């Protein structure tokens, strides 16, 4: 994970939060720990979703090319 300047979560802005490389929670504003962890997990999933979709599309394309014998 990483640190963020701000995250919007459940209708409120959480500023300067994240998880440092050593695994410690970065939370200088003193937000509740469980709220920060949930917000960070949601943000990571949000960033991961486009990569998942791209991977699915690439898998389908490779499968299609193998079946048809095409090569680019």
In DSSP notation, 1-66 reads --EEEEEEETTEEEEEEEE-TTS-EE-TT---HHHHHHHHHHHHHHHHHHHHHHHHHHHHHHHHHH
Tokens 């898998």, residue located: 59
* pLDDT (tens digit per residue) in 3-59: 888 898 888 999 999 989 898 999 999 999 989 999 998 988 887 888 888 999 999
**Segments making up each domain of the chain, as ranges:** 3-62
What pLDDT was estimated at residue 23?
Answer: 85
d(CA 17, CA 69): 49
In this prediction the pTM is 0.62
């Amino acid at each position: 994970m990483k640190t963020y300047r701000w995250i919007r979560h459940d209708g409120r802005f959480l500023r300067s939060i994240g998880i440092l490389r050593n695994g410690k929670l970065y939370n200088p504003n003193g937000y509740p720990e469980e709220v920060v962890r949930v917000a960070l997990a949601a943000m990571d999933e949000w960033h991961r979703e486009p990569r998942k979709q791209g991977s699915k599309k690439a898998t389908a394309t490779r499968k299609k090319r193998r079946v048809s014998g095409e090569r680019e």
